[in-house]
Structure 1
Amino acid sequence: MIAVDPPRSQPLRLEVTNVKEKTGMIWVGIYTGDDNFLIKEKAELVGVKVTASGTTYIDLPALTIGQEYSLAIFHDVDNDGEMNRNWLGLPSEPWAFSGEAITRLRLPTFSETKFRMEEDLETTTLRLRMI
């Protein structure tokens, strides 16, 4: 029998900048493909209580090296567990995505937000935005 080494993984520290309110929770959804992207029930969710404005650090669980991921985050300022939206359906709470997606009045795709987990990737930064 041939022994197969399991895929290597390592944790990732997420630096969330532009935190304006020191209330509520910041929620991170970790996605692995188009089939689960932005489906809350299929995401691996990590939440942290916000205690200060400015920058918040979130330690994500071990991610498999070589795997593609996408991160979607929002600051649940009122702590109701949902991304609140205005009458147009646009987010009314701060949010961010991994990757370099520039979208206008639409949600990005997995392809626009994905990144590959690499051995030398220890920290990544996302800046909260508001519309």
Structure 2
Amino acid sequence: MQVARCFNWYAGLLLAAWPVAGPVASPRPSVTVVVSALASSTSAVKLYFYNVREKFLTKGGYAFMRVVQPGGQRQVSLPVELPPGDWAVAITQDVNNNDKLDKNLMGIPTEPFAFSNNVHPRFAPPAFDECKFTVAETGTVVRISLTH
């Protein structure tokens, strides 16, 4: 009886420590952002990703930011893992390498910039809904041409 009790305790311990297969997490959808018509093949390109409409283009309102070096090319391609949902991207290129977006007296950028969906604002910054794209599956490609 003592042996059986010891065996049961040991078997219970092993089963408790045995890894249990849980639900397998599916990989996040992959998006590739292709930015063309760069003003410089050496200046940093900054991509700001937004997923909250009310925070679009606000200072610090982006979900995350990536800096890409063109490496002598006039086009950059950036694979990004984004969770499903609506996203918008704002892009700048720091041609004078001062780590900020230079603007004129009216607040209009004097360095190249762009938005997803190739939105070209005229008199005011674009709205999130104009720039948004939906991430629903793997393999989404967002092509953006920089405005000079």
Instruction: Give the TM-score normalised by structure 2.
Output: 0.74
1:46 to 60, 66, 69: 66
> Shift in Å at residue 74 of structure 1?
0.6
Amino acid in structure 2 at the alignment position of 1:15: V
Greater mean alpha carbon deviation, residues 96-105 or residues 121-130: 96-105
1:116 aligns with 134
Which whole-Å CA distance do the structure 1 matches of 2:142 and 2:54 have between them? 24
After TM superposition, give the deviation of residue 23 of structure 1 in Å: 2.4
After superposition, residues 65-84 of structure 1 pair within 5 angstroms as 65=84, 67-84=85-102
SS class of match (2:117)? coil
Residue 86 of structure 1 corresponds to: 104
Deviations 1:8-62 (A, max 9, x none): 52221111100121222100000012222112423110111222242111222x1
Taking only the aligned residue pairs, the percentage that are identical comes to 23
CA distance in structure 2 between the aligned counterparts of 1:6 and 1:112, rounded to whole angstroms: 32
More helix by percentage:
2
Where in structure 2 are there 5+ consecutive unaligned residues? 1-21
Relative to structure 1, the CA distance from residue 77 to residue 100 in structure 2 (aligned partners, 3 Å threshold; closer, same or farther) is: closer
Task: Check if 1:10 corresponds to 2:55.
Answer: no
Q: Once the two structures are superposed, what CA deviation does each residue of 1:54-78 show, in whole Å capped at 9, x if it has no partner?
A: 2111222x1112x000100011112
Corresponding residue for residue 51 of structure 2: 32
SS in 2 for 1:99: helix
Q: Verify the 8 A CA contact 2:32 2:139 in the aligned structure 1.
A: no
Q: Which has the higher strand share?
A: 1
| Structure 1 unmatched runs, 5+ | none
Distance 1:51 1:100, change over 3 A: closer
